[in-house]
Amino acid sequence: MKRRLIVFTVLASSFIAVQADEKVVSITLPAETAVYREAPGVELVKGHCITCHSAEYVNTQPPMPRKFWEGSVKKMKEKFGAPIADNIAPMLADYLTAAYGVKDAGGK
């Protein structure tokens, strides 16, 4: 029991020493300059997507068909936990397809 107490005390002392030596680091990011392309639904996208990533993230994606954008919205919701209601997801895909997409073989 005494040995455990000594080990704990040594570990705790090391942790406190490390904490005391840490310095606060401040990082200033540049102002956001990218914007979402104008298309029906842009305000909805601004309200949902910009909370997690910049508009530049979307702007750098290649033109893709609706299936891609549907998958992207699904991934953001299911894998990354984006708070997207089920009824909103198709509207986000509509916007992304209209603003950043290409027509698929079915003409959509």
Residue 6's SS3 state is helix
Q: Pull the structure tokens for residue 45.
A: 């996208």
pLDDT tens for 66-93 read 999 999 999 999 999 999 999 999 999 9
- Contacts for 7 with CB less than 8 Å, ≥ 6 apart: none
Specify the amino acid at residue 29: L
pLDDT tens for 5-20 read 454 554 555 555 455 5
Cβ atoms within 10 A of the Cβ of 103, count?
A: 11
Distance CA 39, CA 45 (A): 10
φ, ψ (nearest 5 deg) of residue 30: -65, 155
The domain defined by 42-100 folds into Cytochrome Bc1 Complex; Chain D, domain 2 (1.10.760)
Distance CA 49, CA 55 (A): 8
> What's residue 105's pLDDT?
56
Q: Which residue, chain included where needed, has tokens 């639904």?
A: 41
